[in-house]
């Protein structure tokens, strides 16, 4: 299995790999990923082994090619659809290489490296991945999986929050990779302020690497609601999201993670398509302005459609879903 990253994309691959494990419980399933995502892949307990590769390192690539060739795998599935992910099984001489057809991949020419080019028809990315698993012989395209949250991480997060007097809380996660799909930071701050003023609920602002300035912008707009800024390990992030009353985020990894953990999610979408990238469990709340044309072009400012959604709109959606009284 080749899925090198990132957070949300790996989550969208779990159901497909779980289907293979369910169909072939005795098979040796090896997941190839970037070292950054090892803990995430391990949390799903669906891969027998996890191999790490740094694709920007020639020595790492050459070493992995030798390792794969030595094991004589019968098949490889590339759920990523990029040159760097498709080339390894070919160079390692895996006889059967399954991947997406040219209708789905972003990089031109990649499907020429596969023996099985699958033309997928599903809307959601997770179901598209499932069609690759079905081509590999899975009895069904997707299956359920569960995530393991480390007990020590759960205890650390609980202790930290209690130290700040936080018991019942919302998680606001303003990041999302590229700014054009991120709801503005000041609106997250306004939401934190209203949750505190109208419902007495505290907010925890989750931020990842290179997102501290974004979290500070939320804090500056949140006034006396005094949200708590939090950035920890992956295990701690899982514990934080699992313990939340609700998680409010855009099209991002933390949104998918919270959804997979069974936490209620309110996902704020702009240019990207929630039918393709939205919460997969079916329990998520999706907010998106009417008539938005989907695009995946990366820009450095929030998409205009996101500016049509205010804090009041999010509160109304939470009340309709009975997340708030």
Closest to 23 measured CA to CA, from 146, 145, 148, 134 = 134
Q: Please, which residues have CB within 8 angstroms of residue 42's CB and are 6 or more apart in sequence?
A: 50
Give the Cα separation of 30 and 68 in Å (integer).
Answer: 10
Q: Please, which residues have CB within 8 angstroms of residue 284's CB and are 6 or more apart in sequence?
A: 255, 259, 264, 265, 266, 267, 278
Give the Cα separation of 188 and 191 in Å (integer).
Answer: 5
Q: Please, which residues have CB within 8 angstroms of residue 54's CB and are 6 or more apart in sequence?
A: 34, 35, 60
Give the Cα separation of 155 and 153 in Å (integer).
Answer: 5
Give the Cα separation of 247 and 169 in Å (integer).
Answer: 9
Tokens 């999201």, located at residue = 241
- Does residue 172 contact residue 206 with C-beta atoms inside 8 Å? yes
C-alpha 13, offset from chain centre:
10
What is the SS3 assignment for 129?
helix
Closest to 97 measured CA to CA, from 10, 7, 23, 32 = 32
Cα(first)–Cα(last) distance of the chain, in Å?
44
Tokens linked to 246? 């609700």
The predicted pLDDT at position 224 comes to 93
What is the SS3 assignment for 156?
helix
The predicted pLDDT at position 213 comes to 93
The predicted pLDDT at position 283 comes to 87
Show pLDDT as tens, one digit a residue, over the chain (325 residues): 999 988 889 999 999 999 999 999 999 999 999 999 999 999 999 999 999 999 999 999 999 999 999 999 999 999 999 999 999 999 999 999 999 999 999 899 999 999 999 999 999 999 999 999 999 999 999 999 999 999 999 999 999 999 999 989 999 999 988 899 999 999 999 999 999 999 999 999 999 888 999 999 999 999 999 899 999 899 999 999 999 999 999 999 999 999 999 999 999 999 999 999 999 998 899 999 999 999 999 998 999 999 999 999 999 999 999 999 8
Closest to 75 measured CA to CA, from 179, 2, 4, 172 = 2
- Does residue 265 contact residue 279 with C-beta atoms inside 8 Å? yes
- Does residue 48 contact residue 30 with C-beta atoms inside 8 Å? yes
Tokens linked to 136? 């590999």
Q: What is the DSSP letter of 121?
A: -
**Residue 132, φ and ψ in degrees, nearest 5:** -70, -40
């Amino acid at each position: 299995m080749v899925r090198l990253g990132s957070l949300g994309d790996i989550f969208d691959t779990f159901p497909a790999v779980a289907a293979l494990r369910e169909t072939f419980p005795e098979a040796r399933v090896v997941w190839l990923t970037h070292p950054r995502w090892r803990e995430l892949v391990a949390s799903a307990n669906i891969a027998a082994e996890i191999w790490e590769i740094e694709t920007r390192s020639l020595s790492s690539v050459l070493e992995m090619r030798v390792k794969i060739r030595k094991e004589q795998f019968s098949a490889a599935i590339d759920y990523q659809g990029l040159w760097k992910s498709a080339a390894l099984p070919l160079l390692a001489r895996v006889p059967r290489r399954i991947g997406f057809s040219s209708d789905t991949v972003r990089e031109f020419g990649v499907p020429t490296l596969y023996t099985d080019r699958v033309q997928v028809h599903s809307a959601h990315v997770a179901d598209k991945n499932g069609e690759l698993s079905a081509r590999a012989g899975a009895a069904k395209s997707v299956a359920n999986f569960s995530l393991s949250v480390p007990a020590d991480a759960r205890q650390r997060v609980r202790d930290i929050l209690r130290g700040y007097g936080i018991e019942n809380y919302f998680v606001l996660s303003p990041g999302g990779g590229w700014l054009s799909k991120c709801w503005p930071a000041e609106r997250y701050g306004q939401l934190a302020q209203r949750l505190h003023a109208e419902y007495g609920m505290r907010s925890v602002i989750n931020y990842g690497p290179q997102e501290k300035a974004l979290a500070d912008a939320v804090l500056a707009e949140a006034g006396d609601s005094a949200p708590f800024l939090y950035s920890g390990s992956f295990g701690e992030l899982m514990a934080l999201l699992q313990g939340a009353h609700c998680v409010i985020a855009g099209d991002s990894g933390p949104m998918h993670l919270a959804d997979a953990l069974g936490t209620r999610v309110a996902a704020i979408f702009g240019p990207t398509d929630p039918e393709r990238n939205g919460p997969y469990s079916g329990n998520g709340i999706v907010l998106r302005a009417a008539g938005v044309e989907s695009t995946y072009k990366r820009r450095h400012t929030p998409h205009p459609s996101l500016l049509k959604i205010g804090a009041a709109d999010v509160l109304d959606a939470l009340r309709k879903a009975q997340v708030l009284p």
